[in-house]
Amino acid sequence: MRRPFLLIDVSNSFTKLALASRTKLASIKKIPTRDLSGKLLRKTLGAWDFDIVVISSVVPKTGKVLTKVFADKKILRVGPKLNLGVGIDYPHPKRIGADRLANASSAIALVGAPAVVVDFGTAVTFDIISADRKYIGGVIAPGLAVMTDYLYQRTALLPKIDLGEPVTAIGKSTRAAMMAGAVHGYRGLVKEILAEILRELGPTEDFKVVATGGYAELISAKLPQIHKVHPHLTLEGLRIIAALNTKPATH
């Protein structure tokens, strides 16, 4: 399978890989970031064929592995100096995570501006794009899995749980009580942060809220404040950035 771009999104938990044309994701794979090595990366890629590697990474130590594996390829690392399709109005642009820039690029294409992106990863991040299509800042809070794992790790009797929709708000077992606290409580956290963001920006702003990440579907299910869920928002952003910063092949 051949496409012009290999997209790589390295997050704290998983590394997602996608072949992409200028207009569409073609195939997606993922591996645990903690297992990332040159050998595993080559095995995972298999027969994929591509010209340009587009990288978004929030794990600096993976840089040497990626540089070595793709030494014979052109590498495009996402950062504020690239054409992102969105401007930046932020005091220190270099400190914005590459994944958050990719999400902003994707949100503009998907729902327009103004917009808020909620990314449910190891941390949950909120990124705000203004009506004049500029990234203006965000919010970072602990991720849902981090919060529930902390309870398990720091208490003697509370178990590790798999998250899903609670049957009731009043748990009839320890697991059910933890589930209710995690999911309903987390929805409250997201709802209140969104309310504060919109309150600060003013009532006249008609923001669209798009969610992505591992728990986006679960938490968004009963939050009407979130207008759209897109499971591959970051990868789509990398595809958009790739297309904006390269010329189409001519034959």
Q: Report the catalytic residues.
A: 99
Backbone angles phi, psi at 21, to 5 degrees: -90, -170
Which long-range contacts (C-beta less than 8 Å, at least 24 apart) are formed by 150-153?
151/178
- Other CB atoms within a 10 A radius of the CB of residue 123 amount to 18
Which residues have a Cβ under 8 Å from the Cβ of 7 and sit 6 or more positions away? 16, 17, 18, 19, 20, 25, 54, 235, 238, 239, 242
Partner residues linked to 134 by β-bridges: 87
Give residue 221's Cα distance to chain centre: 18
The encoded tokens of residue 69 equal 């594996």
Of 40, 77, 30, 82, residue with least CA distance to 58: 77
Partner residues linked to 56 by β-bridges: 9
Which residue do the tokens 């203004």 mark?
130
Three-state secondary-structure class, residue 232: coil
Contact 59, 81 (CB under 8 A): no
Which residues have a Cβ under 8 Å from the Cβ of 49 and sit 6 or more positions away? 1, 2, 3
Contact 13, 33 (CB under 8 A): yes
